[in-house]
Amino acid sequence: MDAEAVRDLAADLPAKPGIYQFEAADETVLYVGKAVSVRDRVRSYADPGDDGSKASEPSAAPTGPRNQRIRQMVERAVDIDVVVTDTETQALLLEANLIKRHQPRYNVRLRDDKSYPLVQLTDHPAPRIEITRDPAEGADVFGPFTDKGHLETVLKAIRETYRLRGCSDHKYAGRDRPCLDYDIGLCSAPCTGEIDGESYRADVEAIRRFFGGETGVLAEPIREEMDRAAESAAFERAANLRDRLSVVESFHEGTGGAVVRDESLRTDVLAVALEGESATVARLHSAEGSLVDRERHEVETPADSRGGDVLAAFVPQYYAERELPDRILLSDRLTDGEVQTWLADAGVDVTVPGAGREATLVDLALKNARRNAGTRDGTAALAEALELDAADRIEGFDVSHTGGSGVVGSDVCFLDGAPEKPDYRRRNLTEGNDDYAAMQELLAWRAERAVDGRDDRSDPDLLLIDGGEGQLAAARKALESAGWDVPAIALAKADERVITPERTVEWDDDAPQLRLLQRVRDEAHRFAVQYHETIRDEVSTALDGVPGVGPELRTRLLRRFGSVEGIRDASEKELRDVPGVGSETAATIRRQL
């Protein structure tokens, strides 16, 4: 669409409040904007720079990257659709909803970031405890939490102390004997009645109290066990418990108690961190004087946007379907007068604090917004290098086995350059010493589930195969057979060559796109090997053939070291610390493993 076409279309538009949509030939919405006068605003796109553009739109400055984006958007458009509203506020909210619905390429776009984990106790007679980003219906949910490592430490402490189950409902149902988790002290086995229902529910209630802020429910049992370990000269165990106790005791620090000026006010704190053509907005929510919620959101934005521009676009999109708080504390002043007016008319007190407790809250939000800043740089570089529309979501695949036995496959997921562990999957594969056949089976499983709608994950932008041309050919054969149209490449470990269906490329060692692929490949390999070792240990533990190691001693060893791998790594002295293991048995275990 050229300037003359824009003027002709604008001439027939109403000079009233409303929204307008630039649309491509395939009816894709390229851009959604709002205006006090739709006619005047649309006409301004024929002569960029003549109109005082609002901050929620691409700037109409006569030069610079934003102006280039405007021209590119107008050139791609073939039509402009308009909706008239009664008020500017209606136009503001309609614009926010349409941006969320259509995700136009040339708008500042909000995308929910699920990087903060939660803990859930499932809705079950014997609830399961787990870390999740997608809680199940009816579950008791705690969080979100900002430190995944500390959360995993606390969850392990919970399972060792209260022995709540971590298995799926499928594995729980129909068992006739306890699993390995019971043997090593991580589960009390309610599935087979090793613990009665009332006692198990009491343990669950204790964990609810812990996440409600009663730290001693977990800290005291750990402290008592630490003291017992020290008294029996198990100093390594005591040191590990000391470190765990430190994490547990500090777990609730910083998750509450940040007092705002008026405890009766519901307060949201919004801060933005800019990263090229993307940004992160962190939101903290305070109620009754304490921070009770934290979350982050990704925003796609023109490269030269300011913090106030991003917040001006974020606020109406986020609150269009949510209740407004009493107060909003911001890291940057809003640059859109219409958004400011809307908030003022709604009775929301908007402040950019310069000092004091409120400024401290904004600083905390900024730290959350800047967390993992830059992790998406590799995705943009990778998309450009491979000529993809995007490489935000990557799934990596690898196969692991020992001489054709215990064959397993891994399917890991990276989102915006960071591991998305809730979307990790693993699978047992057909026995056999054929890596190509195993990779084809693994990709067929993934592709068929996607095509049939049986996989609850989003389709990735790219598939990465750990291997060379043979593995990639096997994977592509599976994709073609299933009819799943997703780009796939391979990364050869020997010389770090990237293999595509059309060519082989070699990037500099420090290229961000190569470093991203290496992280995905290495994580897929780690996850596959870890699962293979688990399967191998569960199917036939090497302890079964060790002279002098019976069922009771086997249980004590597994409980002490966690797995056969842990026993294998233990020294003879550490083995002798286990009751029932003498010098000869310790030497035999070391020799046989």
Phi and psi (nearest 5°) for 296? -130, 150
Output the pLDDT for position 289. 53
Instruction: State how far the Cα of 186 lies from the Cα of 223, in Å rounded to an integer.
Output: 18
CATH of domain 378-537: 3.30.420.340
Instruction: State how far the Cα of 507 lies from the Cα of 493, in Å rounded to an integer.
Output: 14
Q: Residue 5 is encoded by which pair of tokens? A: 């076409």
Output the pLDDT for position 190. 93
- Return the ∠ at Cα 524 (arms to 521 and 527), rounded to 5°: 150
Instruction: State how far the Cα of 400 lies from the Cα of 533, in Å rounded to an integer.
Output: 9
Instruction: State how far the Cα of 511 lies from the Cα of 516, in Å rounded to an integer.
Output: 9
Instruction: State how far the Cα of 215 lies from the Cα of 212, in Å rounded to an integer.
Output: 8
Residuewise pLDDT in 10s, the chain (593 residues): 888 899 989 988 888 888 999 999 888 899 999 988 999 999 988 875 544 343 334 433 333 445 667 788 888 899 998 888 777 777 887 787 778 778 888 887 665 544 456 788 999 999 999 988 667 777 887 766 656 777 888 888 898 888 999 888 888 887 888 888 888 888 999 999 999 989 899 989 988 888 877 778 888 888 888 888 888 888 877 887 787 888 787 776 544 333 334 445 788 999 998 876 778 888 888 765 555 566 778 787 776 788 899 999 999 988 876 788 999 999 999 998 889 999 998 899 999 987 666 777 788 788 777 755 555 567 888 988 898 888 889 999 999 887 777 789 999 999 878 788 888 999 989 888 899 999 999 999 999 999 988 888 888 999 999 999 999 999 999 999 999 999 999 998 778 899 999 889 888 887 888 989 998 999 999 888 888 776 655 444 566 667 878 777 877 776 677 666 678 778 888 888 888 888 888 888 888 77
CB 270 within 8 A of CB 329: yes
Instruction: State how far the Cα of 294 lies from the Cα of 559, in Å rounded to an integer.
Output: 37
Which secondary-structure segment (H or E) carries 109?
Answer: strand 109-113
Q: Residue 126 is encoded by which pair of tokens? A: 């014997």
Instruction: State how far the Cα of 151 lies from the Cα of 145, in Å rounded to an integer.
Output: 7
CATH class of the domain comprising 267-370: alpha beta
Nearest to 424 by CA among 405, 441, 446, 406: 446
Output the pLDDT for position 242. 85
Nearest to 486 by CA among 438, 451, 517: 451
For 443-486, list the strands marked E by DSSP.
Answer: 462-466
Q: In the chain, what is the straight-line distance between the N-terminal and C-terminal CA atoms, in Å?
A: 73
Indicate if 378-537 has the same CATH topology as 3-106: no
Which amino acid belongs to residue 281? V
Looking at 299-405, list the stretches that DSSP marks H as alpha helix, in order from N- to C-terminal side: 307-319, 337-345, 356-370, 377-386
CATH class of the domain comprising 3-106: alpha beta
543 beta partners: none
- Structure-token match 């006068």, residue found: 37
Phi and psi (nearest 5°) for 517? -60, -35
- Return the ∠ at Cα 77 (arms to 73 and 79), rounded to 5°: 140
| Cβ neighbours for 587, distance < 8 A, ≥ 6 positions apart | 572
Q: Where are the domains of the chain?
A: 3-106, 118-250, 267-370, 378-537, 540-592
Instruction: State how far the Cα of 396 lies from the Cα of 472, in Å rounded to an integer.
Output: 12
Instruction: State how far the Cα of 84 lies from the Cα of 508, in Å rounded to an integer.
Output: 53
Which amino acid belongs to residue 6? V
Could you tell me the pTM of the whole model?
Answer: 0.38
Estimate the crossing angle of helix 307-319 against helix 88-102, to 10 degrees: 90
Q: Residue 387 is encoded by which pair of tokens? A: 């000529």
Instruction: State how far the Cα of 532 lies from the Cα of 528, in Å rounded to an integer.
Output: 6
**What CATH number does domain 540-592 carry, 1.10.150.20, 3.40.50.300, 1.10.3720.10, 3.40.109.10?**
1.10.150.20
Nearest to 307 by CA among 283, 343, 280, 341: 280
Instruction: State how far the Cα of 31 lies from the Cα of 78, in Å rounded to an integer.
Output: 12
CB 326 within 8 A of CB 267: yes
Looking at 234-282, list the stretches that DSSP marks H as alpha helix, in order from N- to C-terminal side: 235-250
Instruction: State how far the Cα of 263 lies from the Cα of 430, in Å rounded to an integer.
Output: 61
